[in-house]
Structures are given as C-alpha cells and as structure tokens.
Structure 1
Amino acid sequence: MNFFKYWLAYLDYLQIEKNASKLTIQSYEKDIANFFEFLTSENLQSLNDVDYSIIRTYLTTLYDKDLSKRSINRHISTLRSFYKFLLREQMVLENPFVHLHLPKTAHTIPDFVYQEEMKMLLESIDQSTMLGKRNIAILEVLYGTGVRVSECVQLTLDRIDFDLQTILVTGKGNKERYVPFGDYANQALQLYIKESRPLLITEKSQPQNFLFLNARGNPLTARGIRLIINKLVEEAAITLHIHPHKLRHSFATHLLDNGADLRAVQELLGHSHLSSTQIYTHVTKDRLRNVYKTAHPRAKR
C-alpha cells in the first residue's frame, strides 16, 4: 500500500497548523519514512493493521540498530503525534502508540565552557585579518546571545539594532524574539560589518543581506560555522571540543551562575517550556567552590 498520502496530509498539518520549522519537519519525515519501510517489510497493507504487538516489534528493530534511548523516544513521540493527527482526521480507527511506555532517559548535564576557557579562545583570534574580524564577531554573537547556530546563519543586517543593542531572531516554529547583545559583540559586529564584510563580497557572490558570509561572499551555513570554530580551537591549542550548541549551553550556564532569573533565560533562549531551561540549573565547580569558601566556617583560617 502507498503510505505517502498520509505523510503529505501530515506535512500540511505541520506546515500550516503547527508552523513547524524546516529541521523539525525533516526529523519527522525521517522517522515516519523509517516506520513506513518497516510496515512494508512486514507486508502490512494498512495503518489500521498496526497494533500493540506490531509496535513492540518495531521497537525491537530500533533497539537492534543500537540507537540511544533518546533517539528511540524521539521516534516513538513522532509516531504517536502522527497517529494522533490521523485519528483526528478519521484516517485511522485508533492510536496504537497511546499505551506504549517510552524508555526512561538519563538526565544529562549540558556540556559547557568555563568563562576562563571562553576568554582564552576569544583572545586567541587574530583580529587583524579580514576573516579574523568575521570569526570574532561570530563567536561573540553565539556566546553573547545564546542563539542557535541555525538562527545565527539566518541573521540579516536589517535585524540588528545597534542603538538598543538587540537582534531580532527567528527561532523554532518561525517564532521571533528580541535578544540583547553586549558591548563586546557590539564592537566586534560593527568592526566586521564596516571593515571585513564588504571585502568578502565579490561580483559572483550573492550575500542577500545575510550578516555572516563565507570566504566567497555567500551566506555562511551551520556546517561552515562549525568548521570555523573547530579551526579556531585547533589554532588556539585548546584541548576542548567546542561546538556552536556548547556556546549556547555556556551562555545559559554563565547567566544563571551570575544570578540571572530562570524565566529571563528561558525567554532569551527561546524555549517554549521552562523545563527545557531548567537543565541549566546545575551547579558548576566554580559556584560550589565559591559557596563553600564563603559559607563554611572552616573554609578559611
């Protein structure tokens, strides 16, 4: 049976009603396509043929692929939402995923960079070169605003307000939010836009008003920014693995460590739910040491 029509109907729902981001839709499409391949291999002719035993078999195939519990949970959550939509549209008779319990996942503490390490990386960048001015601006924006790398590459010149020191960011689900940036990012951005960005533009390039450009004058991609950060870390001889999302983790962690309100950090990060922000309330080694030295009567002579 051709299951493609069900995906097309769900795709319209995701795009029109849910206003889901491109990355979310791609993730859903991959999970549902994987499920459809399984149904075909099992010679199932209808989505109504899927019952609890079939789901358990599918779950076993996911485990056999050595997927993490988090990935398996994502697969099941996608399919549960998919069937919920199909049930609403009366395209199936029931949602067989309702009674399936997801495997428990361990709560991992977000990996972040300490403030001293971040300062070391920023100070290692040669800002006298054209690309150096761009690279310091990229890092100051990522670390100074906490935006996702996907949000960073979509920034355009008209979305920067240097008077108020804010940028207008389009996040997940095309939701917009204003994010402030500090003096370091302000200085780095102005220097890049004035002295470096014009030199990157060539007759063949198509900058399209995007803020960050590659060496050929075209808009930078998320992969391009990851490669830039990897090279900067290598040149700085820092024994750390730093990626764009780690800078976002560091942004949130350092704000909370210095007394920022959790709700404010939630808004800055563009999280829909507070629970997504609460993962950053872990205690760092620095805070533990400072609290101990300040509070314990036997910490200092």
Structure 2
Amino acid sequence: MLYGSSKNLSRKTLKSYEQTLKMFAIYLEEHFKITEVSKVKSVHIRYYIKYLRERGKYTVVLNEKTAKVNHPDHRHDFNKPISDTTVSNYLRNIKVFFNYLYEVEREIKVNPVESIENIKPQRKHKPLLKSEEIVKVLRTFDIITFHGYRNWIITRLLLDTGMRISECLSITPENFDFKNKAILITNSKNRQQRYVYFSFKMSRDLKRWMLYRDRYSSSSFMFPTIRGTELEIRNFEKSLRDAGKKVNVSIHPHQLRNNFAKYYLLNGGDWVSLSRILGHSGVEVTQKAYLDFTDEEIGNKYQQHSPLTNLDI
C-alpha cells in the first residue's frame, strides 16, 4: 500500500487493492493454512477464482462490526452470483500484488500469477435512453425541495457533460467558467486535470441553481447536502435509481455518461474530442468502451449520412 501511495494511485484504487488482498489472505489462511506469500502457488489462485464464482455477493465481510451497521444481508443482491467483471477485477489486483513482489521487491522467486490468464468478461450492452425516458425520470424529482432540485440539476449536468459522478459531486463554483461554458475537473480518475463543457441551456439551469443554492447553503461544494457537506455517490445513485423505478426506467449515473458519449457521436461528434472530454488516455480506450451501438442506432445514423441522401443526384 505504501508503494501504491508513492505512485500517486487514487484512494479508490488503493482501497480496491487493500480490500481484495485482505479477502484473499483470509481465504488462503482458512482453506490452505497459508500465511506466507512465498507459499502461494498458481493452483491456490485458481481455487480462489473458482471459490469467487461459487460464493454469493456480500457473504464474506472483512469487518463484523461494520457488517452489523451496514447489514449487507439486507441488500437486494445479497448472495447473488458475483459478476465476471468483479472476479476479473479481483484477479487483476492479485496479479498486481504478486508482480510487485516478484519484479519490484524480489520477495518471491517464482511468480504464481505468471501462467494465469486474465478473465475477459462479456461486455453488456448499455441501452441508449430515449428522450421520453429521460424526461420521465427528470419529472419525478420534486424541484420544490433543496435535494430534489439539486438531484434534478446533477442528472441534467451528467447527461450534458459526460463527467463521472465522483467528479461532479466534488466540484465547486470556482471550477465553472461560464464565459467559455467549461468546467475544470481536478479529481479525475487518472489524476489529470481536464475541461468538460456544458450547453447554453445547461448554463441557464446552472445560474438559476447557484442563486437558489446561495440562499440555502454556504457550502463550498456546488451540489452539497442540505447540511453543506459533500454529497455521497451512493446517496445520489439511490436517488436516481429510485426516480427511475417510479417511471419504470432503469438508470444509474454511469449510464448517463455512457448516453452522453453515444448521443455525442450520433449527433455528429468525433472520437478525438470525445476522448478528451471523457478523460480517456486515448481514442482506442474510448472506442473500446462505446462501440456497442445497436443495429437500430447504426441504421438511424446511416440515414443521416447516406451518400445518396446528401448528394444532389
């Protein structure tokens, strides 16, 4: 963890590594009586992958005291199968750890992850929300209340800018440049500052929100809680999910980012500018993440750019 901190890894990444390795260590001790890294072999890691596929979600906890407060057994997805994506992430974290021991610290002579292939989860298609579905969700927010108005604005802003929810909830009014319709993102996933941009319509919404917000809060955050603290991601996720349930629309914050990217491309935007707006390391990363268009979406896009339609012949 000290090595990870020295590489300036994000808190989220460090937390993921620590949680994964603690759970793996518990498994090794309980099932194989192994407490030393030098005794871990490839077969133990393969057994762990098998174990992960068989055990249910949230059936293993690191802290019993925390479990008594959070009640993971009350979750709607408790004991459901762990997804391939999650198993893949666990394996990746374990690989990073043993590669570090083998290549950096020279703590082990044999690297047990060398022969283990990465898990490639099947990519799920993320549906493009229709305009009427988005309108239905937005109308469920009670904009007479502080939190309802705030969540309404956040939802519109995520769709208009493509920023991540973690980036959105930490921004302050000083991050906004209304002259150039831009927001400076300072806490991006890759630790690189970048700008995202908002529309003229969003600009009017934001100015109204700021006037309203200043009457009820002196918080430094643009979208604070009613107490002035930073709004937690999970709380907004729940509010958005609940709003969707009321109108039978499945929706979550990252889906808004995904829909921003797709609508941007379908409306004539290019991959290079999209990649910069999303904060990806390159166009290839963006294409890999957002090339899952349906045949209907491709067909509609074709009709806009058909050579015969656009040529006077």
TM-score (norm 1): 0.83
The one of 11, 34, 42 equivalent to 1:22 is 11
1:176-207 CA-to-partner distances (Å, cap 9, x unmatched) read: 1111111122111110111x212332xxxxx5
The one of 101, 118, 122 equivalent to 1:86 is 101
Deviation at 1:223, TM superposition (A): 2.0
Q: 1:21 to 1:128 in 2, by over 3 A?
A: same
Instruction: Tell me the distance in 1 between the aligned counterparts of 2:46 and 2:148.
Output: 53
Deviation at 1:24, TM superposition (A): 1.5
Instruction: Tell me the distance in 2 between the aligned counterparts of 1:96 and 1:227.
Output: 40
Do 1:83 and 1:95's aligned partners in 2 also have CA atoms closer than 8 Å?
A: yes
Do 1:115 and 1:254's aligned partners in 2 also have CA atoms closer than 8 Å?
A: no
Aligned residue for 1:58, secondary structure, equals: helix
The one of 290, 298, 301 equivalent to 1:280 is 290
Deviation at 1:123, TM superposition (A): 5.6
1:182 aligns with 2:199: yes
1:53-86 CA-to-partner distances (Å, cap 9, x unmatched) read: 2222222222222422222211111111111111
Q: 1:93 to 1:157 in 2, by over 3 A?
A: same
Identity of aligned residues (%): 27
Name the counterpart of 1:243. Answer: 252
C-alpha RMSD over aligned residues: 2.5
Name the counterpart of 1:136. Answer: 152
Do 1:110 and 1:280's aligned partners in 2 also have CA atoms closer than 8 Å?
A: no
Name the counterpart of 1:56. Answer: 46
Name the counterpart of 1:171. Answer: 188
Instruction: Tell me the distance in 2 between the aligned counterparts of 1:149 and 1:258.
Output: 23
Deviation at 1:255, TM superposition (A): 0.5
Name the counterpart of 1:204. Answer: none
Q: 1:160 to 1:48 in 2, by over 3 A?
A: same
Instruction: Tell me the distance in 2 between the aligned counterparts of 1:72 and 1:94.
Output: 23
1:127-164 CA-to-partner distances (Å, cap 9, x unmatched) read: 56544542332122111111111111111111111111
Name the counterpart of 1:68. Answer: 83
Instruction: Name which of structure 1's ranges 238-247 and 100-109 shifts more when overlaid on structure 2.
Output: 100-109
Q: 1:14 to 1:211 in 2, by over 3 A?
A: same
1:196-249 CA-to-partner distances (Å, cap 9, x unmatched) read: 212332xxxxx5511102233332111222233235435xx5220111111111
Name the counterpart of 1:39. Answer: 28
Structure 2 spans left out of the alignment, 5+ residues: 56-80, 309-313
Instruction: Tell me the distance in 1 between the aligned counterparts of 2:278 and 2:301.
Output: 27
> Where do residues 186-205 of structure 1 align in structure 2 (5 Å cutoff)?
186-194=203-211, 196-201=212-217
> Could you tell me which amino acid in structure 1 is paired with residue 155 of structure 2?
L
Do 2:169 and 2:223's aligned partners in 1 also have CA atoms closer than 8 Å?
A: yes
> Where do residues 91-240 of structure 1 align in structure 2 (5 Å cutoff)?
91-122=107-138, 127=143, 130-169=146-185, 170-194=187-211, 196-201=212-217, 208-233=219-244, 237-240=246-249
Do 2:162 and 2:277's aligned partners in 1 also have CA atoms closer than 8 Å?
A: yes
Do 1:136 and 1:188's aligned partners in 2 also have CA atoms closer than 8 Å?
A: no
1:29-54 CA-to-partner distances (Å, cap 9, x unmatched) read: 11111111122121124211112222
Q: 1:138 to 1:175 in 2, by over 3 A?
A: same
Q: 1:34 to 1:127 in 2, by over 3 A?
A: closer
> Could you tell me which amino acid in structure 2 is paired with residue 177 of structure 1?
R
Deviation at 1:165, TM superposition (A): 1.1
Instruction: Tell me the distance in 2 between the aligned counterparts of 1:56 and 1:281.
Output: 32
Instruction: Tell me the distance in 1 between the aligned counterparts of 2:110 and 2:231.
Output: 45
